[in-house]
């Protein structure tokens, strides 16, 4: 059940950030936006990391920044 809630929360966050993807928005701004939304979804103990788009591993991507050059990945701790 928690997994479904988490997946739904991340989907909502990703949908909310799609507007950021088209503009060259700072990664700090996008990361702060994601961090602000996670507690309201009862998500605790997580790590967000900004990585170049070609170095995205198997982690979940929750945001795009710098005009699509970088991705923000989510890892639950």
Residue 61: its pLDDT value, please? 95
Burial of 21 (0-12, 13-18, 19+ CB in 10 A): middle
Identify which has the larger pLDDT, 68 or 7.
68
Residue 57: its pLDDT value, please? 85
pLDDT digits (tens, 9 = 90+) for 3-51: 656 556 666 566 555 554 456 889 999 999 999 999 998 988 999 999 9
| Region 52-58 average pLDDT | 91
This prediction's pTM: 0.67
């Amino acid at each position: 059940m928690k997994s479904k809630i988490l997946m739904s929360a991340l989907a909502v966050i990703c949908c909310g950030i799609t507007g950021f993807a088209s503009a060259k928005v700072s990664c700090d701004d996008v990361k702060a936006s994601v961090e602000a939304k996670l507690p309201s979804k009862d998500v605790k103990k997580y790590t967000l990391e900004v990585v170049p788009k070609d170095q995205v591993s198997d982690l979940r991507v929750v945001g795009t920044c710098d005009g699509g050059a970088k991705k923000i990945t989510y890892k639950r701790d």
